[in-house]
Amino acid sequence: MSTPRPTFLSGIQPSGRPHLGNYFGAIRQHVDSLNEPGDHFFFIADYHALTTIRDAASLRTNVRDIAATYFALGMDPARASFFRQSDVPEVTEISWLLATCTGMGLLERAHSYKDKIANGIKPSVGLFTYPVLMAADILAYDSTVVPVGKDQVQHVEMTQDMATHFNTRFGEVFVRPEARLPVRDDMAKVPGLDGQKMSKSYGNDVWLFESGKPLKKAIGRISTDSREPSEPKNPDELVLVDFLKLFLGDEELQDWRARILAGGESAPGYGHLKVRLAEAMDEHFAAPRAKYEELMGDPAELDRMLLKGAEKARERAVKVLDRARMACGLR
C-alpha cells in the first residue's frame, strides 16, 4: 500500500511587518519545506487579522507586505499555493461545521486567547473562536503536516480534537494533521528585545528587513545589565547571545561565548556584541530585502500572484467542503 502524498499547510497573520520571530519560527521552515515532496499550501490569515485590525487600508498594506516578504525569502509560486485566506471562502463554512461539534471548554483552554486577555486585549467572539477558524484553515486542504512555532502547537492539537469530534459524529471526513516544529529549539521561540517572547503586541520585536540606523537603534534596545566587559558572564543568560545564535556560524559563536565566559581584557562589551549582531543581520537579509522592495513597488502584481495561488487552494477546499456537507446531511 502506497503512502499518501504529504500536504503541508501553514499561515501567518498580516498584523504588521514580519519580525525575526516570524522568520525563524515560521517563514523559514515554510520556505524550506518546499524542498520536500508533497503539496504545499501557505496562506495570509486576513480573516484572523480582523480580530485586532480595524483599519481597511492598514490590512490591505499588511497583506501585501507579508506577500512580498514571503516571495522575497524564497516562497516559489511554482511549487506552492500561496494565497489570501479570504480568497478561499469555503474555510468559513467549514469553520461553522466544526463549531457545531466543538465544546466551549476546549476553546476556553486556548493559550493564545488567555495570553491576549492577560495583556489587555479586549475579547471578542472572533478572538474566542479563533481556534475554530484556524482548524478550518488546516482541515480544508486535507493537510497532514503543519509547520509551526512552539506557541502554535496547541492550535494543531485543538484541530486534531475538532476533526475527531466531527468524524466521530458524521464519519471519516477530515484528515488528522500533525505539527512540525523547527529542527533547532532555539529557533522555535525567538526572544524579544526585553528577553521575553518576541511579539508585535508587546512592542519588543525587530522587523526582519530593518537596516541602517533603524536597525542599530532597535538592537540598541536589547536588554543588558550594567556589568563591565571584563567581568566573566554566563553567555546562556545574555539575550544578546540568544540573538547571535540565530545568525553566526558555530565556530564564531563559540569564540564569542568563550571570551564572554572568561572575562578579562579580551572580553567583548555589550556594544561589541550589538555591532556584530547588526552586521550579521544586514548580511543575512541584504538580498531578500532588495527583492522585497522591488515587489512592494508593484502591488497589482502581488495581488495577481496571490489570486493565482488561491485557485489551486479553492479546488482542494471545495472537495473537502462537499465531503463534509454530504456527511452531515446538508446535501
Task: Yes or no: say if 253 and 261 are a contact pair by the CB < 8 Å rule.
Answer: no
Task: Yes or no: say if 294 and 143 are a contact pair by the CB < 8 Å rule.
Answer: no
Bridge partner residues of 84 (DSSP): 44
Nearest alpha carbon to residue 83 among 42, 46, 47: 42
Residues designated catalytic: 116, 197, 200
> Which positions ≥6 away from 33 have C-beta within 8 Å?
8, 40, 145, 147
Question: How many angstroms separate the CA atoms of 235 and 151, rounded?
Answer: 25
Question: How many angstroms separate the CA atoms of 120 and 118, rounded?
Answer: 6
DSSP characters over 136-193: HHHHTTT--EEE--GGGHHHHHHHHHHHHHHHHHH-S-SPPPEEE--SSGGGTS-B-T
Bridge partner residues of 126 (DSSP): none
Report how far apart, in Å, the C-alpha atoms of 80 and of each of 40, 41, 268, 312, 314 are: 5, 6, 44, 9, 13
Nearest alpha carbon to residue 154 among 96, 112, 105, 104: 112
Question: How many angstroms separate the CA atoms of 148 and 100, rounded?
Answer: 26
Q: Give the CA angle between residues 216, 218, 219 to the nearest 5°.
A: 65
